[in-house]
Amino acid sequence: MSDGRGFTEEDYPQKEGEESNHVIITKSVADLLFPDGHAVGRTIQQGRPGKVYREPMVVIGVLRDFYNPFGRPTDPTAFSDKCILKPSYVGGYDDGMSYLIRTQPGALKSVVGEVEKKLTANNAGRVFEFKTTQAKKDSWFSDSHIVVTTMTCIIVALVAVTALGLLGLTSLSVAERTKQIGTRRALGATRMDILRHFLLENWLITTAGLALGVFGAYALNFLLVSHVSDVKMQWQLIAAGMLLLWINGLISTVPPALRAMNVPPSVATRSV
């Protein structure tokens, strides 16, 4: 709690069916509605122009960090840090009831035992299931983790295949131009000149391929955003991908280029 207080028994409605007019909001909501920084004690009202949904509600507290897992689909992560908490009676117990319990570090096991005793004292027929916040997060993101892991493996495989392809093409180019390399050496080219030649040649080819790839990626993303309402691609990811492929291309070229720079000038005098 960054400001104000939490809910107390007096904040809850006195009768079932009634609604409380006390709420706690997250800091992002407070900053949006009250830019002056004084949200506690102020009132908010839910509705839209011409129609009010509820009576005015008084803000009694502001939460610093809280994330609502049911954000709007337009959000990049479908999560939202904008939330309004309101005390209310339980509508029913048909599907069970969830409690969020906060404990001191290291006191989880002892608190779980005490909570179970207290709740069992009121209803001996209850069945309990305790999960930590980390376990709930892992369960929530399990599908995303599988997708991320699969896509990571695919990307690594593609980068490896690209590296092998560049290595093979450069090796073939060196083998086919051995006599030309020897001729350049005989005419005064140094080993570093030969190395720079192949590195620059590979860099130009890689850059041309990246230019076509970036154009295709942005074109495909534009179509997805226009027709499927997908997330707009971030330029930082494109820049990182280009840098990775540039480095990958240069590293793949180094072994054949090192062989090329060691070609002696005498090769130029040999017959084909």
pTM exceeds 0.75 for this model? no
Higher model confidence: residue 203 or residue 18?
203
Which of 90-104, 107-121, 252-266 is predicted least confidently? 90-104
- Tokens (6 digits) for 234: 């971030």
Higher model confidence: residue 233 or residue 196?
196
Residue that the structure tokens 């050496």 belong to: 185
Position 115 confidence tier, pLDDT thresholds 50, 70, 90: confident
For residues 133-160, one letter each, b for 16 or more C-beta atoms within 10 angstroms of the residue's C-beta and e for the rest, the string is eeeeeeeeeeeeeeeeeeeeeeeeeeee
Q: From residue 253, give the alpha-carbon distance in Å to each of 169, 182, 199.
A: 9, 19, 7
Q: What is the CA radius of gyration of the chain?
A: 32
Q: Give per-residue pLDDT as tens, 179-204.
A: 888 888 888 888 888 888 888 888 88
pLDDT, position 78: 55
- Tokens (6 digits) for 90: 């339980």
pLDDT, position 157: 92
Around Cβ 178, how many Cβ atoms within 10 Å?
Answer: 15
Position 219 confidence tier, pLDDT thresholds 50, 70, 90: confident
- CB burial of residue 245 (10 Å; 0-12, 13-18, 19+): buried
Spatial CA neighbour of 99 closest among 70, 128, 121: 128
- Tokens (6 digits) for 3: 């400001």
pLDDT mean over 35-57: 79
